[in-house]
A and B are shown apart, each in its own frame.
Chain A
Amino acid sequence: MIDTIIGHYNYWVVILLMMAGFYTVINRGNLIKKIAGLNIFQTSVFLLYISIGYVNEGTTPIIAEGFTRYANPLPHVLILTAIVVGVSTTALGLALVVRIKRAYGTIEEDEIHDKDMSL
């Protein structure tokens, strides 16, 4: 039981963070806040991947004399790519928010919906 907790607390806290982001995305009506939530979700997924690549007593995967045990470099490479793709999607999402503000005059989801209905 104790072993399970010590071996998994990292994953559980990361899942808690993920769910905090998810909750922000589905419950909050403000579009900027939704994007902040999406970013939290995304960062938590990065943390999950890096957790899986971690090795006890290991070091950063830079080959040097005197070290034999390294962390897994492959999740690091994946996540480097994902961070850059993530900022691209964030930029695009925020551009959509600006465009919505110009078209509707609001960035609250409920008000946008009301305006759509009143047409």
Chain B
Amino acid sequence: MLDTFIDITLLAFLTITAIAIIKVRDLFVVIMLFSIFSLHSAGLFVVMDAADVAFTEAAVGAGISTVLMLATLALTKDHDEKRPAHKARLPLLVVLITGAALVYGTYDIPSFGDPDAPAQAHVKPYYIEQSMRETGVPNTVTAVLASYRGYDTLGEVTVIFTAGIGVMLLIGGRLTRKRDKEDDR
């Protein structure tokens, strides 16, 4: 019962924060609100029994993403968003239609927290029952992430590496800086 109450409260907070992000035009406030949004969702992950995801979301979503956005704001020095020149009608229509289609789709999803849902039946019991014996790690999420799917996690490092190279080539390279200086002259 308390779970449901916290769940509804956090969802309400998330909705208010999301609407505030749409409304507010000061980009610094937008970034801070986004950080709050991430922190609230980390809380919601804890309520939904996903402790590992909550840790990562709080550290990466609320922490690193916010720092990256603040750094971008410092580099671009453009603190206020300008009003859009065009009408909001078409985007609103697209969003409403997409939202309606998605809500229609949820009628086929079993109820929230249903223990007999297909998602709970297929391979989940295997991991819950066998992972402790096979890997010796009590945390099933860690067992899957680091042992059963260890290579995927290694591949993830490649993704971060590629993103790092991309960022370096875009803004950090010596060539780009030199060219910018020539442009300034």
Flag if A18 contacts B102 (CB, 8 Å): yes
State whether A30 and B27 are in contact (beta carbons under 8 Å apart), knowing that A17-B14, A76-B50, A83-B60 are contacts in the complex: yes
Interface of A is mostly: helix
Flag if B95 contacts A51 (CB, 8 Å): no
Flag if A39 contacts B22 (CB, 8 Å): no
Shortest Cβ gap from A44 to chain B (Å): 8
Flag if B112 contacts A8 (CB, 8 Å): yes
Any A CB within 8 A of the CB of B128: yes
CB contacts (< 8 Å) of A54 on chain B: these are 48-49, 112-113
A-B contact pairs, 18 of them (CB 8 A): A12-B106, A13-B14, A13-B15, A16-B18, A16-B99, A23-B95, A30-B78, A39-B38, A46-B53, A52-B109, A55-B49, A59-B49, A75-B50, A84-B160, A87-B64, A88-B160, A92-B170, A107-B76
Flag if A36 contacts B34 (CB, 8 Å): yes
CA distance A101 to B75 in the complex (A): 9
State whether A51 and B21 are in contact (beta carbons under 8 Å apart), knowing that A19-B95, A73-B140, A89-B163 are contacts in the complex: no
CB contacts (< 8 Å) of B164 on chain A: these are 91
Flag if B113 contacts A55 (CB, 8 Å): yes
Kindly identify, within residues 27 to 41 of chain A, every residue whose CB is under 8 Å from any CB belonging to chain B: 27-30, 32-33, 35-37, 39-40
Any A CB within 8 A of the CB of B180: yes
Interface size class of A (residues with CB under 8 A): 35 or more
Any B CB within 8 A of the CB of A119: no
Beyond A7-B112, A11-B109, A56-B113, 19 additional pairs, beta carbon < 8 A: A6-B112, A13-B14, A18-B99, A32-B73, A39-B61, A46-B57, A51-B112, A53-B50, A61-B128, A73-B141, A74-B144, A80-B145, A83-B53, A87-B60, A95-B170, A98-B75, A98-B76, A107-B76, A108-B81
Any A CB within 8 A of the CB of B6: no
Flag if A37 contacts B21 (CB, 8 Å): yes
Any B CB within 8 A of the CB of A1: no
Any A CB within 8 A of the CB of B175: no
Flag if B124 contacts A88 (CB, 8 Å): no
CA distance A101 to B183 in the complex (A): 13
Flag if A19 contacts B166 (CB, 8 Å): no
Flag if A96 contacts B81 (CB, 8 Å): no
CA distance A110 to B68 in the complex (A): 24
CB contacts (< 8 Å) of A22 on chain B: these are 95, 98
CB contacts (< 8 Å) of B119 on chain A: these are 52-53, 72, 75
State whether A33 and B140 are in contact (beta carbons under 8 Å apart), knowing that A17-B14, A54-B113, A72-B119 are contacts in the complex: no
State whether A24 and B22 are in contact (beta carbons under 8 Å apart), knowing that A91-B167, A98-B76 are contacts in the complex: yes
CA distance A102 to B170 in the complex (A): 11
CA distance A85 to B155 in the complex (A): 11
CB contacts (< 8 Å) of B145 on chain A: these are 77, 80-81
